Amino acid sequence: MLVAANLRPAVVAVSPLLDEITRDEGYSSAMAGMLTTLPVLFFGLVSPLAPPLAARFGIERTVFGSLLLLIVGSLLRLIPDTACLFLGSAVVGIAIGICNVVLPALIKRDFAHRSGLMTGLYSMTLSGGAAVAVGVIVPINHAFDGNWRMSLASWAILAVITACCWLPQLTRHRPETVARRGSLYRNPIAWAITIFMAAQSLIFYTFSAWLPTYLISEGHTAAAAGTVLAIGQTVALFASLIAPIIAGRFADQRVITLVAVAFTAVGLTGLLTIGHVPVLWTILTLVGPGSSISLVLLFMVLRSSSPQQTGQVSGMSQSIGYVLAALGPFVTGALHDLTGSWTIALGMLGIPVVVQALSAWWAARDVKMDEYSH
């Protein structure tokens, strides 16, 4: 859980400062969107490397190496250079992307008898780290007199603490075997999980990246916009804990999954059409991804038959899913540049909402991937 707490702050803490970064550096909306997109893109690009790394070095050592890389990436953002800012964001994405893949396999290996509870605790900590980050980053930035580079780099402290706490795990080195039962790229259940992962990630990262900027354009202060996002993230935190615990009690998870998707649809529609009480609409919108991230992690565990297969589907779904999700913030920023309308730009999130609902029909079914092996 302490490792999980590191897997979102260095990414989502950028969005409440994005308006200030854009102003200081002279970026366009598309360029600013790329800054938030880059880590998510590398989540996907490095995901196929995670299972072989875990097989070679063991999950424990792979996680430790990723934490060290996260520290390096965070500190690179201190250097007053655009290239280092983007390079640091990429390195942060590489470090987090590896942990994203191997931790579900760890749950399958060590906590298979309590997969719903442990998946809920893990995903709750992911959401909690994100909520804390967006809630405190503006006050941290004020404490550093507006030095947003120092503010972003400050998350390296949490990674240092976690790496120190993880050291005893290195004595429990357990090399993982790599299962080769057939390609999951021909498995419809694996693809349904992958598409579900891509859709919910695209919604979460795009909405989190641009909500503060949208609210600022509607007349809210940066601090108020960050607070609205933090409140939404906090409620999503509890949704991410509760959803898999409830879902894990049922063989078929389609009903609870479709309810989660419906929350996103209602919240997004209310925010862009009614506009009043943005906290309510933000909460509803983020309850969907908050529940969905824990549900898709649960699907990886329940639909697989071994820790190795869990690692395989985790790598596949996060590789393709995050690469597709990375397009969201950039395309949304480009749409705003083109149309001048945040309503149109953010309204396009309705497309992945529909895709997520359709993929849930297969991903949440009571079925094992082995039943569709080739």
The Cα–Cα gap between 329 and 30 comes to 8
pLDDT number for residue 178: 47
DSSP per residue, 39-59:
HHHHHHHHGGGHHHHHHHH-H
Which CATH number belongs to the domain containing residue 341 in this structure? Answer: 1.20.1250.20
Note the maximum CA span of the chain: 59
- pLDDT above 90 covers a percentage of the chain that reads 39
pLDDT of residue 179: 47
Tell me the pLDDT tens digit for each residue of 57-79. Answer: 989 999 999 999 999 999 999 99
Residue 352 one-letter amino acid = P
- Please name the residue that has the structure tokens 């509760």: 242
Q: Quote the mean pLDDT of the chain.
A: 87
Length of the chain: 374
Domain that holds residue 117: 4-372
Number of domain units in the chain: 1
Report whether pLDDT(176) > 60: no
Q: Following CA atoms 193, 196, 198, 204 in sequence, which dihedral angle do they give, to the nearest 10 degrees? A: -140
